[in-house]
Structure 1
Amino acid sequence: MGFISWIILGLIAGALAKWLMPGDDGGGWIATMVLGIAGAFVGGFVGGFFGFGGADGVNIGSIVTATLGAFILLFLYNRFIRG
């Protein structure tokens, strides 16, 4: 998957994760993109671990996988780092 695809997937996944878990997280579009890209890695790892597959392009399955990973990261950030 190309660099531009990761950015697009990161924006979509990060925005969906923040939409599902709203709150005062701080950061703007850059933080959302980083959250989404990291979420794609986490979602790909979790999806691969459970046999669902990873984030391999900008498609519905990858968006769901990356959003799940971004949601997990956002939850962990809100739970442990922000206190």
Structure 2
Amino acid sequence: MLGTIISAIVVGLIIGALARLVMPGNQGIGVIMTIVLGFLGSLIGSWLCYQFGYSNSNGGWKVIPFIVGIVVAVVLIAIYVRLTGGKKAGV
């Protein structure tokens, strides 16, 4: 259970960080929100892939859900920055 939670946080951080690298400019959001939006992007991206019939019949690393997760995270970060104005915490 604890390993699953730690894995979800690490994947969220990776997806969120890659999404922020893809986006132009400074988004002005913190690490915690990057993890949360990355995790949500990963979750929604994986769900969308499987809803459209994706199957990893060969096994191995699931690249398509990972890429779709990054795209969804970019959209979520853009929405978050638009709604909050990209204000940094504590400023």
Check whether TM > 0.5. yes
Deviates more, 1:32-41 or 1:21-30: 21-30
Question: TM-score scaled to structure 2, two decimals?
Answer: 0.65
What is residue 28 of structure 1 aligned with on the other side? 30
Identity %: 36
Secondary structure of 1:2's partner? helix
Secondary structure of 2:17's partner? helix
| Cα distance in 1 between the residues matched to 2:54 and 2:74 | 17
Counterpart AA for 1:32:
T
What is residue 39 of structure 2 aligned with on the other side? 37
What is residue 70 of structure 1 aligned with on the other side? 73
Unaligned runs of 5+ residues in structure 1 are 54-58
**CA 28–82 in structure 1, closer or farther in 2 if over 3 Å, else same:** closer
* TM-superposed deviation, 1:15: 0.6
Contact 2:46 2:66 (8 Å CA) reproduced = no
Determine which structure has more spread, i.e. the larger CA radius of gyration.
2
What is residue 54 of structure 2 aligned with on the other side? 52
Over aligned residue pairs, what C-alpha RMSD do you find?
Answer: 2.4
What is residue 16 of structure 2 aligned with on the other side? 14
